[in-house]
Structure 1
Amino acid sequence: MQTIALLIISNIFMTLAWYGHLKFPQWPMITAILVGWGLALVEYCFAVPANRLGYAHGFTASQLKIAQEVITLAVFAVFAAVVLKEPIGWRYAGAFVCLAGAASFMFLGRA
């Protein structure tokens, strides 16, 4: 559970790093890049421990990656709806179902 919590926090920061600047189109490009890098550094401070702890506790690298992808889509959907005011449509639901299916295959047989 600690791994998943760290991955969620990590993805919140990465989503802000990659897409947060879209709310500030008046920023010069260099400002957007530097703010993004700063946020990405914080993201790494959560992602690296998440992956190391998860791997040490029995997750495979592939399982960690697919979990991260599912979390990324969920975090981005909330960000897009709340921050960017973009509607969540059927495409999000379809993508989430596909990723959930991929995660199911990756975790199949895991105790």
Structure 2
Amino acid sequence: MSVDTATVAKIASLSRIKMTDAEVAAMVPELNGILAWVEQLSEVDVTGIEPMTAVIPNTQRLREDVVNADPLTGGNMRDAVLANAPAAEHGFFGVPKVIE
């Protein structure tokens, strides 16, 4: 696959990038070089190779998902929090209607 000046000009137009004729002409060999390098990648034999998402295998360190029942350090304090609310409805903060 090769790119010509008309293709570069169209891509620049679609991208809303203003380019002079000299810039378009200078971009043609650069894009052709990039495309030639990408075509070389298709020649590599990758049969039997598992796809990977990272070079180093990463695993997330997860903690146990528990509610802290201590009212001083967090968790399970809905009633104490809602006691400060100007309006509480069904265990949630009550807010005025915004859209009529």
TM-score normalised by L of structure 2: 0.28
Kindly name which structure, 1 or 2, has the bigger radius of gyration based on alpha carbons: 2
More helix by share: 1
Where relative contact order (Cα < 8 A, 6+ residues apart) is larger, the structure is 1
TM-score normalised by L of structure 1: 0.26
